Structure 1
């Protein structure tokens, strides 16, 4: 069950094993009961057999009183299914005496059916009797010396064995069915409530990942508590590693910026020297490269930490006020239309950095207007997560497809007269990618460029 839950798999596995165990147990019990019923039936047949042999061994008994000690009325009822037969085997004529129930029929011989003598000197087996009856028969050869040799046979209706076994199977099936239902209900109860703590942990981890919680809280059973403790310890260790990474990135930035500033200042003091000009040019390239890679390291460090949730509308409104102050000399009108329910699954400073870069670029190139729209896209297809769309439009001259491809590359600028390093869109693309989002450039409805940022939401 590839997409199935652990509880479902455990329930299916337990059900399968339960059915197998009950089936095997039922077959074994049915077989044992059939054997026991058959042995009891055989004891009854052997009792009649010994009585008949005793009658044969005392031929002086009057004929009308012979074989009266069997005590079974069914031997006198025609074709009742209970028969006895005594056949003399030491004469060619083979005189036979039989119970009245046989009427004018004869019992078959087990020897002719390939049944061998047992250690007790008897043969036991199933044969077809008169009227197609299934008989359980026992026979024994008797040697009386001078009085002759005989084959004594007693047969009983095997339907008794089959009916007893069938009745037991019905009761056994009903009992096992009821037992199976009770065990299945017990299994459902155990799986549902036994795995409830794991479900709580799963939901708590999902809350941590989405930013709704910071740790696993609550009490857990002793079997699950170590897992909760280790998970909390892992979260704490992850946060500590991220904080150390941020500190190292900051220290590295300061350590590299100072030597670069010295090189730039020294080269700037000898600007007329071609060598100094080349050094100054390459130092600027190094500064841009260092800024880019340090920013990527800082972004990656932040994106790998457990997510938080950021309200988008307040962050965008704060950016609007900031950008209006920065570009107040150009009198750019910045309009915002943000869904109040929009939330970004990430840190606020990352959202402000991405959108801030896009709004700053829009303000630099706009003629008079910048429009920011924030919407939450909820897909209709099941299983598809919703997305946050941030669209920044300006009414500038716009960009061709070739120009869009150029500005998307790191450090590329279309107009050197505009301030900046050319890293803004590259940083936005990298940061959005780390969050599983994307940045696309297209034509804006108000005439200029549209930068559309797609980010995860909750």
Structure 2
């Protein structure tokens, strides 16, 4: 699975936080508004309750006009959801007076529903009404001494609270939805344009790796400019290290080859001496070893250079013409099939050395034909760099598996009659490995040996 980009992760993180914060804020605001609506409703009920308590405590009005001062028409409308009820509790008989709206029903007692008396001597809570609706109810016990004990209840339809809260939630949800869209768009804008300089640096580094540029150029924001400067300084330091390594490798080559030449010359002047023959033999081995390891050091220093790219087609065509001249006496036909615009991520002379060794080896062993094919190979696996393939086939006798394993080892030769030191395929293998590629030997469709070179592409 591919990793998400920094911009995507920042956007998702910011969006998630926005959604979480808005949800928490919405829940808090909805709860606060519900409490406020409930308190306002309770104040209205308490006003009616105090009026009823005053009527009970001072029954100056005639019974037919008592409790007419509430001023709420809903108390007169049957089963309207607004009710009051006064129950005498110090007698055994059922002495209840109620609003006309209650009709022949009765209100339940809050005490039976577990409601506790508050500091003001009032109970309040939700109960089920006569018609099954939910009522918000306040209840107060009144002790008039010799005049009796009463329980005064006032209830109102709680749908007013629920409707108000639900409408507020709708408006709140719409407002927060619009706000979420605005915040998400703002976040997208900030992430896209805020990270644009980093995208420019990423593209510039890709150009450097592909050889289209040598340094990070252009103006960058103050926060990003130090990164660009340090990256350019790192590239310059890398080039200086590579140049010093090349210089040291050259100096070492001269320092070692000169004493070896003296040893060889002195031994050659005593060719009849068995000891001198042994010295010559070991000096040749030392010379091959020195050449091999110096070449590896030179290559390792060179492949660290950033941004070197070589087009493969022209290199292969030039090698074809050179090899045709070198092997003119063998009358070997060299054919080339190269895809256009295939680029090798490395130096031209290294590509010439690898392909040249393979083509030269094929020409030595071919009967009459050598075929070279250059193919883009794409990425070998997700997230990996693209590769290219160079196939070199000949129509010679080919090699068995054991022989292919033998010739891949440094200095191993199957036929001493053929010119060479036996280091060619070993150098190709080492050089390809330093570039992150590989060399594979197999059977060619035209009958002989196939050498398949896999290299990084640009």
TM-score of the two chains, using structure 2 as the length reference: 0.92
Alignment-derived partner of residue 65 in structure 1: 65
Alignment-derived partner of residue 421 in structure 1: 421
Point out the more displaced range, 323-332 or 137-146: 323-332
TM-score of the two chains, using structure 1 as the length reference: 0.92
User: What are the superposed Cα offsets for residues 358-412 of structure 1, whole Å, 9 maximum, x if unpaired?
Assistant: 2332344445554434343468998786543333344544434333222211011
Measure, in 2, the Cα distance between the counterparts of 1:445 and 1:146: 122
Measure, in 1, the Cα distance between the counterparts of 2:137 and 2:447: 106
Alignment-derived partner of residue 141 in structure 2: 141
The CA deviation at 1:122 is 0.7
User: What are the superposed Cα offsets for residues 18-47 of structure 1, whole Å, 9 maximum, x if unpaired?
Assistant: 222121111111111110000000000111
The CA deviation at 1:440 is 2.6
Measure, in 2, the Cα distance between the counterparts of 1:446 and 1:128: 96
User: Would you say 1:155 and 2:155 are equivalent positions?
Assistant: yes
User: What are the superposed Cα offsets for residues 260-282 of structure 1, whole Å, 9 maximum, x if unpaired?
Assistant: 11111122222222222112211
Answer yes or no: is the 8 Å Cα contact 2:213–2:307 preserved in 1: no
Measure, in 2, the Cα distance between the counterparts of 1:20 and 1:261: 79
Three-state SS of the structure 1 residue aligned to 2:166 is: helix
Measure, in 2, the Cα distance between the counterparts of 1:46 and 1:150: 16
The CA deviation at 1:139 is 1.2
Point out the more displaced range, 171-180 or 222-231: 222-231
The CA deviation at 1:331 is 5.8
Distance 1:456 1:59, change over 3 A: same
Alignment-derived partner of residue 287 in structure 2: 287
Measure, in 2, the Cα distance between the counterparts of 1:154 and 1:171: 31
User: Would you say 1:409 and 2:409 are equivalent positions?
Assistant: yes
Alignment-derived partner of residue 301 in structure 1: 301
Answer yes or no: is the 8 Å Cα contact 2:380–2:387 preserved in 1: no
Point out the more displaced range, 214-223 or 49-58: 214-223
Alignment-derived partner of residue 204 in structure 1: 204
Which ranges in structure 2 are unaligned for 5 or more consecutive residues?
A: none
The CA deviation at 1:62 is 2.3
Measure, in 1, the Cα distance between the counterparts of 2:243 and 2:270: 41
Measure, in 2, the Cα distance between the counterparts of 1:107 and 1:336: 103
Alignment-derived partner of residue 20 in structure 2: 20
Alignment-derived partner of residue 88 in structure 1: 88
Answer yes or no: is the 8 Å Cα contact 2:380–2:386 preserved in 1: no
Distance 1:102 1:374, change over 3 A: closer
Answer yes or no: is the 8 Å Cα contact 1:307–1:347 preserved in 2: no
Distance 1:155 1:349, change over 3 A: same
Paired residues, number: 458
The CA deviation at 1:114 is 1.5
Answer yes or no: is the 8 Å Cα contact 1:52–1:152 preserved in 2: yes
Measure, in 2, the Cα distance between the counterparts of 1:196 and 1:59: 82
Measure, in 2, the Cα distance between the counterparts of 1:2 and 1:71: 72
User: What are the superposed Cα offsets for residues 115-163 of structure 1, whole Å, 9 maximum, x if unpaired?
Assistant: 1110111111111121112111111112223322222111111111111
Alignment-derived partner of residue 39 in structure 1: 39
Three-state SS of the structure 2 residue aligned to 1:131 is: coil
